[in-house]
């Protein structure tokens, strides 16, 4: 974090803070902070340093090519961000993924959620000068990046969800690999509680700092773990997309909405995701992973890949023309709820695609949480938010 004095404005001392673009940190962020002595009076977040025009670029690409584009907004959570888009297009196409594909989508979504939370907790550790949390979080994240790689063939940007199903079936030995990972992670979460969450230094930095009351969280449209930490029981997974309607879970909800509770919610959600993956693996139905309408279009010579549990897309797949219409869809990412508004004019490319990501919605927290806290509390508040700049700028 780099700061410089900007002099006086409106009777207050003004400091400009640049967070990033160096790593490790959640970079590319400029904050203009107004101070009364050492107490924050106002913060003006200046976002937009990694703007990549994802929505506009989506309008000049065929539907299937949009999938690999939008997952770059949140590389650490690529399945959760693409699934609502894929389901929106499926509604316009008049199809539904086979039951097995829905379960496989859910499994990867929860793997990504764990990876996202470990990434955010590790970055939060850096903001608090707790390098062990960073090294443990990123090291343990590799366990779940490996699981995602086994399932999809790619570590980060999987492009796993496709219209009508998924690209790969569950590989042999995956269940055993997951159970081993679950046992390991549950042990490590106990260590996280001792080493980080219940660390008196960390509690001193986060407890009663950056408090977000329940009424303000609702009024400002905050989403995800930041919303649930304030006592609001809302999670887009409760809507029942993918296979969530067939799984048993209860959202993790806090009470106080301070920085410490935002960390606690993410730690407990890792436990919940482990349980959801195990449920999905136990209930995983047999059957195809790709819709019959498009499987029939695959040339006979290429259908051997289906026997290996892999989908080869037919040549006409890139020329799909969903019916005219408007669709709104949503899903729960690691950072919170993502929403899509898709307009189709009957062509091969979206007429309009509007994406509202959780970090874009949560960016207002930079303005509402810091006032009344000290300047040195600002990194702690930032670290507790799990804000991801590329996702906000999109």
Looking at residues 4-10, what average pLDDT do you find?
78
Residue 318 domain flag: yes
pLDDT at 27: 62
Q: Report pTM.
A: 0.93
Looking at residues 148-156, what average pLDDT do you find?
92
Residue 341 domain flag: yes
pLDDT at 74: 87
Residue at token pair 């600002």: 378
pLDDT at 318: 85
Look at 79-93, 141-155, 297-311, 343-357 and tell me which has the smallest mean pLDDT. 297-311
pLDDT at 345: 95
Phi, psi values for residue 52, rounded to 5°: -130, 15
Residue 184 domain flag: yes
Residue 173 domain flag: yes
Strands 161-162 and 352-356: unpaired
Checking if the pLDDT of 139 tops 90, the result is: yes
Looking at residues 70-89, what average pLDDT do you find?
92
If you average pLDDT over every residue of the chain, what do you get? 90
How many domains is the chain partitioned into structurally? 1
Cα of first residue to Cα of last residue in the chain, in angstroms, is: 23
Checking if the pLDDT of 359 tops 60, the result is: yes
pLDDT at 20: 61
99-131: pLDDT as tens digits: 999 999 999 999 999 999 999 999 999 889 898
> Domain range holding 274?
54-393
Q: SS3 letters for the chain?
A: CEEEEEEEECCEEEEEEEECCCCCCCCCEEEEEEEECCEEEEEEEECCCCCCCHHHHHCCCCHHHHHHHHHHHHHHHHHHHHHHHHHHHHHHHCCCCCHHHHHHHHHHHHHHHHHHHHHHHHHHHHHCCCHHHHHHHHHHHHHHHHHHHHHHCCCCCCCCEECCEECECCCCCHHHHHHHHHHHHHHHHHHHHHHHHCCHHHHHHHCCCCCCCHHHHHHCCCCCHHHHCCCCCCCHHHHCCCCHHHCCCCCCCCCCCCHHHHHHHHHHHHHHHHHHHHHHHHHCCCCCCECHHHHCCCCHHHCHHHHCCECCCCHHHHHCCCCCEEEEEEEECCCCEEEEEEEECCCCCCCEEEEECHHHHHCCHHHHCCCCCECCHHHHHHHHHCCCHHHHHC
**What is the share, in percent, of the chain residues with pLDDT greater than 90?**
71
pLDDT at 21: 59
pLDDT at 2: 66
Checking if the pLDDT of 16 tops 80, the result is: no
Q: What's the chain's Rg over C-alpha atoms?
A: 22
Looking at residues 56-84, what average pLDDT do you find?
92
208-256: pLDDT as tens digits: 999 999 999 999 999 999 999 999 999 999 999 999 999 999 999 999 9
Tokens for 278? 């195990």
Residue 17 domain flag: no
pLDDT at 115: 96
**What is the share, in percent, of the chain residues with pLDDT greater than 70?**
97
pLDDT band at 24 (very low <50, low <70, confident <90, very high): low
Name, in order, each residue with C-beta under 8 angstroms of 82's C-beta and a sequence gap of 6 or more.
67, 70, 71, 159, 160, 161
Residue 144 domain flag: yes
Query: Where residue 358 sits, what CATH number does that domain have?
Result: 1.10.645.10
Residue 27 domain flag: no
pLDDT at 32: 86
pLDDT band at 79 (very low <50, low <70, confident <90, very high): very high
Looking at residues 187-207, what average pLDDT do you find?
94
Residue 160 domain flag: yes
């Amino acid at each position: 974090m780099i700061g410089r004095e900007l002099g006086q404005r409106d009777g207050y001392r003004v400091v400009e803070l640049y967070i990033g673009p160096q790593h490790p940190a959640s970079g590319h962020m400029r904050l203009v902070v107004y101070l009364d002595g050492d107490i924050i009076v106002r913060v003006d977040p200046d976002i937009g340093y990694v703007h990549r025009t994802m929505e506009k670029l989506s309008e000049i690409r065929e539907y299937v090519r949009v999938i690999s584009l939008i997952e770059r907004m949140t590389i650490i959570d690529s399945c959760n961000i693409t699934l609502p888009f894929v389901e929106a297009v499926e509604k316009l196409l008049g199809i539904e993924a086979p039951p097995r594909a829905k379960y496989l989508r859910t499994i990867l979504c929860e793997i990504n959620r764990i990876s996202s939370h470990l990434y955010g907790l590790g970055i939060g550790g850096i903001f608090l000068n707790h390098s062990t949390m960073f090294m443990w979080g990123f090291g343990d994240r590799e366990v779940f990046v490996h699981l995602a790689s086994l399932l999809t063939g790619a570590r980060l940007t999987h492009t796993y969800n496709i219209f009508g199903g998924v690209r790969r079936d569950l590989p042999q030995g995956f269940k055993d690999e997951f159970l081993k990972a679950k046992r390991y992670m549950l042990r490590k979460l106990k260590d996280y509680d001792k080493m980080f969450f219940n660390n008196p230094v960390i509690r001193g930095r986060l407890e009663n700092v950056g408090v977000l009351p329940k009424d303000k969280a609702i009024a400002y449209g905050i989403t995800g773990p930041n919303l649930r930490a304030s006592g609001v029981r809302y999670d887009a997974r409760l809507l029942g997309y993918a296979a969530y309607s067939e799984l048993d879970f209860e959202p993790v909800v806090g009470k106080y909405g301070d920085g410490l509770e935002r960390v606690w919610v993410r730690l407990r959600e890792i436990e919940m995701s482990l349980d959801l993956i195990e449920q999905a693996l136990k209930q995983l139905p047999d059957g195809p992973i790709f819709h019959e309408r498009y499987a029939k279009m695959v040339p006979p010579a290429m259908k051997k890949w289906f026997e290996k549990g892999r989908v080869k897309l037919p040549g006409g797949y890139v020329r799909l023309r969903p019916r005219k219409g408007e669709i709104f869809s949503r899903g729960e990412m690691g950072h919170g709820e993502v929403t899509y508004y898709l307009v189709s004019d009957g062509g091969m490319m979206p007429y309009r695609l509007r994406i509202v990501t959780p970090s874009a919605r949560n960016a207002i927290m930079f303005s509402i949480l810091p006032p009344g806290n000290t300047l040195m509390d600002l990194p702690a508040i930032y670290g507790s938010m799990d804000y991801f700049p590329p996702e906000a700028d999109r």
